[in-house]
Amino acid sequence: MTDSAETPATGRLILVLGDQLSPAAAALRDGDPARDRVLMAEVMGEATYVRHHKKKIAFVFSAMRHFAAELAAAGWAVDYVPLDDPDSTGTLAGEVARALDRHPCDRVVVTEPGEWRVLADLAALRNRLPVPLDLWEDDRFLCPRADFAHWAAGRRQMRMEHFYQDMRRRTGLLMDGAAPAGGRWNYDSENRKPPRAGVSAPGPARFPVDATTRAVLDLVAARFPDHVGDLEPFRFGVTRAQAEEAFDHFVETGLARFGAYQDAMVRDEPFLFHAVIAQYLNVGLLDPMAVCRRVEAAWRAGAVPLNAAEGFIRQIIGWREYVRGIYWLTMPGYIERNHLGHTAPLPAFYWTGETDMACLRACITQTLREAYAHHIQRLMVTGNFAMLAGVDPKAVHDWYLAVYADAYEWVELPNTLGMSQFADGGLLGSKPYAAGGNYINRMSDYCSGCRYKVKDKTGPDACPFNVLYWDFLARHRDALGRNPRLGPVYRTWDRMDEDHRQAVRRDAGVFLERLHGPKRC
Among 31, 113, 180, 325, contact with ligand DLZ (rule: CB under 6 A):
113
Beta pairing partners, 176: 179
The answer to whether the Cα torsion of 25, 49, 224, 95 is positive or negative is positive
The SS3 call for residue 481 is coil
419 is in the binding site of which of ligand SF4, ligand FAD, ligand DLZ, none (Cβ under 5 to 8 A by kind)? ligand FAD
Closest separation in Å from C-beta 243 to ligand FAD: 11
Query: What residue 114 binds from ligand DLZ, ligand SF4, ligand FAD, none (CB within 5 to 8 A, per partner kind)?
Result: ligand DLZ
- Rounded-to-10 torsion of CA 255, 258, 259, 265: 180
- Residue 220 makes contact with ligand DLZ by CB under 6 A: no
Instruction: Give 180 or 259: the residue with its C-beta nearer to ligand FAD.
Output: 259
* Min dist. Cβ of residue 104 to ligand DLZ (A): 22
Cβ atoms of 478 and 515 within 8 Å: the answer is no
213 vs 466, which CB is nearer to ligand SF4?
466
Least separation, in Å, of the C-beta of 227 and ligand FAD?
A: 17
Q: Taking CB under 6 A as the rule, does residue 118 contact ligand DLZ?
A: yes
Among ligand DLZ, ligand FAD, ligand SF4, none, what does residue 441 contact (CB within 5–8 Å per kind)? ligand SF4
Could you tell me the CA-to-CA distances from 477 to 303, 473, 503 in Å, in that order?
48, 6, 18
By beta-carbon proximity to ligand FAD, the closer residue of 28 and 50 is: 50
CB of 457 to ligand SF4, least distance (A): 11
Q: What does 387 interact with, of ligand FAD, ligand DLZ, ligand SF4, none (CB < 5 to 8 A by kind)?
A: none
CB of 359 to ligand SF4, least distance (A): 3
Q: What is the DSSP letter of 423?
A: T
Q: Does 57 bind ligand DLZ (CB under 6 A)?
A: yes
Compute the C-alpha angle 101/61/126, nearest 5°.
35
CA 380 to chain centre: 15
Binding stretches for ligand SF4 (CB under 6 A):
357-359, 437, 440-441, 446-447, 450, 452, 454, 463-465
Is 334 or 385 the residue whose CB approaches ligand DLZ more closely? 334
The least distance separating ligand DLZ from the CB of residue 216, rounded to whole angstroms, comes to 11
Q: What is the C-alpha to C-alpha distance for residues 53 and 264, in angstroms, rounded to an integer?
A: 25
CB of 470 to ligand DLZ, least distance (A): 39
DSSP letter string, 306-359: HHHHHHHHIIIIIIIHHHHHHHHHHTTTGGG--TT---BPPPGGGGT---S-HH
User: Residue 69 CB, nearest distance to ligand DLZ (Å)?
Assistant: 16
* Residue (272 or 359) nearer to ligand SF4, CB: 359
Which option in ligand FAD, ligand DLZ, ligand SF4, none does residue 416 bind, with CB closer than 5 to 8 A by kind?
ligand FAD
Check the CA dihedral 283-286-292-298 and report its sign.
negative
Other C-beta atoms lying within 10 Å of the C-beta of residue 159: 13
Which of the choices ligand SF4, ligand FAD, ligand DLZ, none does residue 52 contact, using the CB cut-off of 5 to 8 A by kind?
ligand DLZ
Site residues, ligand FAD (CB under 6 A): 274-278, 281-282, 312, 315-316, 319-320, 323, 374-375, 378-379, 383, 400, 404, 406-407, 411-412, 415-416, 419-420
Name the one range near ligand DLZ by CB under 6 A: 14-22, 269-277, 413-421, 512-520.
14-22
d(CA 409, CA 330): 13
CB 58 within 8 A of CB 232: no
Between 80 and 408, whose beta carbon lies closer to ligand FAD?
408
Long-range CB contacts (< 8 A, 24+ apart) of 97-101? 97/125, 97/128, 97/129, 99/13, 99/37, 99/39, 100/13, 100/129, 100/130, 100/131
Could you say which of ligand SF4, ligand FAD, ligand DLZ, none residue 379 binds, taking C-beta under 5 to 8 angstroms by partner kind? ligand FAD
By three-state DSSP, how is residue 2 classified? strand
Which of ligand DLZ, ligand SF4, ligand FAD, none has residue 113 at its interface (CB below 5 to 8 Å by kind)? ligand DLZ
For residue 232, CA distances in Å to 56, 172, 243 come to 11, 42, 19
Of the pair 447, 473, the CB lying nearest ligand SF4 is at 447
Q: Is 167 in the site for ligand DLZ (CB under 6 A)?
A: no
Could you tell me if 188 and 257 are in contact, meaning their C-beta atoms sit under 8 angstroms apart? no
Distance set, CA 25 to CA 53, 123, 141, 286, 407 (Å): 26, 19, 10, 12, 19
415 binds, among ligand DLZ, ligand SF4, ligand FAD, none (CB under 5 to 8 A by kind): ligand FAD
Contact region with ligand DLZ (CB under 6 A), list: 26-34, 42-50, 328-336, 458-466: 42-50
Distance CA 418, CA 128 (A): 36
Amino acid identity, position 408: Y
DSSP string, 80-94: EE-TT-TT--SSHHH
User: Taking the mean position of all CA atoms in its chain, how far away is CA 153?
Assistant: 26
**Residue sitting closest to ligand DLZ (CB):** 18
Which residue among 36, 115, 310, 507 contacts ligand DLZ (CB under 6 A)? 115
Distance CA 332, CA 121 (A): 13
Which residues contact ligand DLZ by CB under 6 A?
A: 17-19, 41-43, 46-47, 52, 57, 60, 92, 113-115, 118, 408
